[in-house]
Amino acid sequence: AGIAVYWGQNGNEGSLQDACNTNNYQFVNI
C-alpha cells in the first residue's frame, strides 16, 4: 500500500507480488 511503480516499463518484473516480496519498491514513481 502506498507504493507505486512504473508497471510495464520494466521488463524484468515478474509479477506484482514478486515486486512486493522483494521490497525493492519503497518509493513512488508517478
- For the stretch 1-30, pLDDT in tens is 455 655 555 555 555 556 556 565 555 555
Report how many domains make up the chain. Answer: 1
Whether pTM > 0.85 for this model: the answer is no
Q: What is the pLDDT of residue 1?
A: 46
Q: What is the pLDDT of residue 10?
A: 54
Structural domain boundaries, residue 3: 1-30
Residues 22, 19: Cα–Cα separation, whole Å: 5
